[in-house]
Amino acid sequence: MSATAAGGWVLYRDRPDWADVTPLKQDESERTVLRIAYTEKFSDVHDYLRACMRADERSQRALALTADAIELNPANYTTWSYRRAILASLDGDMEAEMKLVRGIILRNQKNYQVWYHRRWVATRLSGADGTSELELTGEVLTEDSKNYHAWEHRQWAIRHFNLWERELAYTELLIGTDVRNNSAWHQRHFVLANRNGEASGLTPDVVAAETEFALNWIGQCPNNESAWSFLRGLHLDTGLADCPRLLQFCRELLATEAGCPHLLAFLADYRADQLDRRCPLAEGETRESVATEALRLLHLLATKADRIRRRYWLFVAGDLHARHGGQMPELQEGLQSSSQQRMSGSGISDSLSRRLQKELLELMSCGGDAGATAFPDGESLAKWTATLRGPDDSPYEGDVYKLSLEFPADYPFRGPAVRFTTPCFHPNVDQLGNICLDILREKWSALYTVRTVLLSVRALLAEPNNSSPLNALAAAQWPNRAEFARTKRSFQDKHSGGGV
């Protein structure tokens, strides 16, 4: 419990039981242009916290100190990490910790650090079956049905505690409440695809049943993009054109919803899939006529149904026209303009664009379950920003890092340029974020993908190659984990703009 006097706060420097500790002030340069106006209480708590961390004190009073620091700044990863170290050393009361963390989550629902701490505690709580995690996330999602942190934690709990059985019913309840709840549709696909473990749960029978489920909701609300995206995900592995029911449904819906952009885009993709994979066509159809129909749909999107993304639809039409032909005279000017922009603006060839789009879909379908996500940075497909979570049971556990990826014109025959944009203290990462990893250089293979690269970099965080360091200090300290952790914390403090 925090000390109080007459209902007020007692500074740590005035507490007799802390008289043996010399507070450690924040190291700020005299030349600092703009100092943060910390309150006296904030500075006092964190001065004593730094002192305890430097001494690596693991006691009940240090544990209480971290609680005060977290109350002042619940987003401070370093404080949470220190608290976990203390709890582990003291064999702390995990039941009490769960109750504490629950209250903090309900007050700070979009705080990555507290959700991660909750996961750490849940795995160490004797007899835990995950029920409390579903209850907590359900409570949060009732207030904010699109809370990313709650959904990520819920997916982790379902995997870790094997709680797949009732989740489909939960998603159906959410979809019935709000059919536009994209998170609920995504969760439904997550459960269907992963509940069988290593084997995909999207068996032909499941895909057929879920297709009808999605089509039923699309029929009730055609302008809801979430259900259309779910439908695409169901057929991602097999292809849209392998399900004639989709074409039949779209043509029937077109009679009443001709201006629906999601319908037009889906039907154009179905036709493009038929052409790309050379699927059998209906009697009387030719590849030319199918390509022309797809171009007509894209023309409607560009000029009427979705004019705000006109340039994008012209780009798609130009790509399709270049690969499969088709007749659409009124699009000719737009197609030529789009083609010129592809070559002079982004500088990305059609083959590279298709390859990167395929890898992006692969990465998104994994849902970040391996601690790695990435997405194009801006309008160019050739530049991506990735996010890596530090591996468990490593000095980087709980950390989150940003990386940049730039793809050369001859990718995948030459690897991307990858570097950390978040400062990272690691034996194989230099001050500029450059990474020493063989698969990014001499051992690169055209078989590798963005996912391969990110998982390899994440693995490198836990298992560095000290024989080829870019950071000699980090390599020298790596064997001594306590010393390495202290230097790493100091490095993070220095490069994160101050604070603990």
Backbone angles phi, psi at 37, to 5 degrees: -85, 75
Buried b (16+ CB within 10 A) or exposed e, 72-105: bebebbbbbbbbbbbbeeeebebeebbebbbebb
Question: What's the rounded Cα separation, in Å, for the pair 62 and 1?
Answer: 11
- Collapsing DSSP to helix, strand or coil, 435 comes out as strand
The answer to whether 436 is a known catalytic residue is yes
Q: Dihedral of the CA atoms 189, 195, 197, 203 (nearest 10)?
A: -70
Radius of gyration of the chain (CA): 27
Q: Which ranges constitute the DSSP H helices of 255-300? A: 261-276, 287-300
Reading the block at residue 122, the tokens are 């849940």
CA 225 to mean position of chain CA atoms? 20
| Closest residue by Cα to residue 233 from 189, 187, 271 | 189
Q: What is the DSSP letter of 305?
A: I
| Closest residue by Cα to residue 422 from 408, 409, 435 | 435
Burial class (CB within 10 angstroms; exposed 0-12, middle 13-18, buried 19+) of 227: buried
Residue 416 preceded by cis peptide, ω within 30: no
Q: Residue holding tokens 């059919």? A: 179
Backbone angles phi, psi at 242, to 5 degrees: -80, 0
Question: What's the rounded Cα separation, in Å, for the pair 477 and 481?
Answer: 7
The answer to whether 114 and 104 are in contact (CB under 8 A) is yes
Residues forming the active site: 436
